[in-house]
Structures are given as structure tokens and as C-alpha cells.
């Protein structure tokens, strides 16, 4: 399973490019930390696949261990976007697969 690191405070960041026609991205695990309270959403444009509310004033995080049991699927042909509700630094790593 490939993984991709991320480190951003932008409102929306593409972290995995679109996989091509007839294929989709499946999120299978992640670790994410935030420097303060924010809503972190993994998904595609207009589709929230994995929304997380993270943190307190001191920050916080979430872990979903890589597994075939976690299957958060994006729409076919869409890139994986990380969207933040606030300009808070968020970083981590995400494990995914591209499904034919």
C-alpha cells in the first residue's frame, strides 16, 4: 500500500492526484496531527469521505491503523483532497490504494 505525507495549513490541498478513468482512491489508514482545533476532511471536490474534528487549543490528532477493514472510497476518477476549516497547521501520513 502506498503512503503519502502531508503538511499544510491551506484551506484545500490535493494530496493524491486523480487516478485516471475507471479507477478510484481508497483510504486505508492515516495519522494526522493539528496545531490547534480544526475540522479536517479527506475527500474529493464536493464529497466528504472521512471528516474528523481534531484538537483543542493545544492541538490533537487521530490515528486509523492501516487495514483492509477501513475502506473510505472516493468517487471514481477524483483526486484526494485534504480540506481544513481553519488555517491551522496539519500534518501526517495517509495510506491508500488505487482500485482499478
Residue 9 is predicted with a pLDDT of 96
0.75 cut: is pTM over it? yes
Residue 34 is predicted with a pLDDT of 93
What's the pLDDT tens digit per position in 11-67?
Answer: 999 999 999 999 999 999 999 999 999 999 999 988 999 999 987 677 789 999 998
Q: How many domains does the chain have?
A: 1
Domain that holds residue 78: 3-99
- For residue 98, pLDDT beyond 80: yes
CB 84 within 8 A of CB 51: no
CATH code, domain carrying 28? 2.60.120
Closest CA to 74 of 17, 5, 4, 27: 27
Amino acid at each position: 500500500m502506498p503512503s503519502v505525507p502531508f503538511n499544510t495549513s491551506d484551506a484545500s490541498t490535493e494530496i493524491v492526484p486523480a487516478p485516471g478513468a475507471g479507477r478510484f482512491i481508497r483510504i486505508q489508514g492515516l495519522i494526522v496531527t493539528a496545531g490547534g482545533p480544526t475540522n479536517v476532511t479527506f475527500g474529493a471536490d464536493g464529497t466528504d469521505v472521512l471528516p474528523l474534528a481534531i484538537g483543542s487549543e493545544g492541538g490533537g490528532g487521530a490515528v486509523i491503523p492501516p487495514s483492509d477493514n477501513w475502506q473510505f472510497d472516493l468517487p471514481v476518477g477524483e483526486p484526494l483532497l485534504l480540506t481544513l476549516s481553519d488555517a491551522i497547521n496539519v500534518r501526517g501520513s495517509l495510506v491508500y490504494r488505487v482500485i482499478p
